[in-house]
């Protein structure tokens, strides 16, 4: 990690990679976790937000001082709010009404305006987050919508930064990449880079929560913020390239949340639920991978954004989640 930067934007990327000690005991492979919470906005999405804003400014669709309008489950909104604050663009975020209070508070701290809606509203519903964002943008002259689900700058940010960082940090020894999938930008961009760089040797594993159709089956309620998808394959995000994924691993909610708690208690890593999902899938991968494999799991954000949900026994109980081993 850079020890010193001349601007906050310069702190985006170059996040640390840490080896799992306790949770990795007895494995014949090593698991590393890439801590995207080290970005200044607190998540992997700072990379995406920066990449999309820079490109929009470059091609002229985002003029100085123009408003940015985006629908986001939280982290892209936070990334855009951060970049907007630094570059003089007002930011409006349409967020899920299930977004944690902590993330909403962070958004507002960076001066973003927040509009809440039902994240499960179907594409044809006026309440659908993307439809609300489209209406807002139509009403605000000169406004620009990054559209993270369609914007090639999203996966490209990871091809250009996350992938090369992992290659460098493992001295080219990485054998497996494990990542959760929201827009698919992280797994598609990082996975494509690592496959290109290793001449196809690196295996890419998609970690999917219960209720998501990425790994097949019927759609259901998804209890892991920011990841999974309940839409038909025809409506999957353009930013997700399923061909990069060699295998999907589905982790039940109890396994996801037990892993987030163990990461905190056993490794001292306070991470969000999608990180627990990826690490649980990484451990599963390690059990069948050839001995001596180097498995890298992406941890998209920190647990501090979920203290009222993931680390709240009442929220866990209300959602029927039981921590394995008594938490
Ligand atoms: N975890 C969290 C907490 C997220 O907010 C996101 C992005 N929605 C992801 C994982 C997945 O990242 P991506 O959109 O690049 O697939």
The string of DSSP letters for 75-87 reads HHHHHHHHHHHHH
Topology of domain 8-38+159-316 in CATH is Rossmann fold (3.40.50)
What is the predicted pLDDT for the residue at 3?
65
Give the model's confidence band at 327: pLDDT under 50 very low, under 70 low, under 90 confident, else very high: very low
Q: Which residue minimizes the CA distance to atom 3 of ligand 1?
A: 226
150: CA distance to ligand 1 center in Å? 14
| Cβ of residue 151 lying under 6 Å from some atom of ligand 1 | no
In which order are the strands placed within the sheet that holds 17-19?
Answer: 17-19, 30-35, 294-299, 176-180, 203-209, 247-251
pLDDT band at 326 (very low <50, low <70, confident <90, very high): low
Q: Is the confidence at residue 2, as pLDDT, over 60?
A: no
A 10 A CB-CB count for 247 gives: 14
> pLDDT tens across 29-40, in order?
999 999 999 999
Q: Is the pLDDT of residue 263 over 50?
A: yes
Residue of 300, 302, 310 to mutate, ligand 1, most atoms within 8 A of C-beta = 300
The domain segmentation of the chain, as residue ranges, is 8-38+159-316, 45-139
For the question of residue 103 being annotated catalytic, the response is no
- Give 229: exposed, middle or buried? Use CB within 10 Å, 0-12, 13-18, 19+: buried
> Could you read off the pLDDT of 199-212 as tens digits, one per residue?
999 999 999 999 99
Residue 308 in this model has a pLDDT that exceeds 70:
yes
pLDDT tens, position by position, 121-176: 988 999 999 899 999 999 999 999 999 999 999 999 999 999 999 999 999 999 99
Which CATH number is 45-139 given?
3.40.50.1100
CA of 181 to the centre of ligand 1 (A): 6
Ligand 1: residue of 96, 146, 186, 273 to mutate (most ligand atoms within 8 A of CB) is 186
Predicted TM-score of the model (pTM):
0.96
């Amino acid at each position: 990690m850079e020890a010193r930067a001349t601007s906050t934007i310069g702190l985006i990327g170059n996040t640390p990679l840490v080896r799992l000690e306790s949770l990795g005991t007895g494995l014949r492979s090593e698991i590393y976790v890439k801590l995207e919470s080290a970005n200044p906005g607190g998540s992997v999405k700072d990379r995406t937000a920066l990449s999309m804003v820079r490109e929009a400014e470059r091609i002229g669709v985002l003029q100085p001082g123009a408003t940015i309008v985006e629908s986001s489950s939280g982290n892209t909104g936070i990334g855009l709010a951060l970049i907007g604050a630094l570059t003089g663009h007002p930011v409006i975020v349409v967020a899920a009404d299930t977004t944690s209070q902590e993330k909403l508070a962070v958004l507002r701290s960076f001066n973003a305006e927040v509009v809440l809606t039902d994240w499960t509203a179907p594409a044809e519903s006026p309440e659908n987050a993307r439809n609300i964002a489209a209406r807002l943008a139509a009403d605000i002259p000169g406004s620009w919508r990054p559209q993270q689900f369609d914007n090639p700058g999203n996966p490209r940010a990871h091809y250009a930064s996350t992938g090369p960082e992992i290659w460098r940090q493992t001295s080219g020894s990485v054998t497996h990449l494990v990542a959760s999938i929201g827009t698919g930008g992280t797994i598609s961009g990082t996975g494509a880079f690592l496959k290109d760089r290793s001449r196809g040797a690196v295996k890419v594993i998609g970690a999917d929560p219960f209720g998501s159709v990425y790994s097949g089956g019927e759609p259901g309620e998804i209890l892991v913020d920011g990841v999974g998808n309940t839409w038909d394959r025809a409506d999957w995000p353009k930013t997700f390239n399923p061909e990069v994924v060699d295998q999907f691993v589905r982790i039940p909610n109890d396994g996801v949340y037990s892993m987030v708690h163990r990461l905190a208690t056993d490794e001292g890593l306070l991470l969000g639920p999608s990180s627990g999902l990826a690490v649980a899938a990484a451990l599963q991968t390690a059990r069948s991978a050839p001995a001596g494999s180097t498995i890298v799991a992406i941890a998209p954000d920190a647990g501090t954004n979920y203290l009222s949900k993931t680390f709240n026994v009442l929220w866990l109980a209300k959602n029927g989640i039981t921590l394995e081993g008594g938490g």
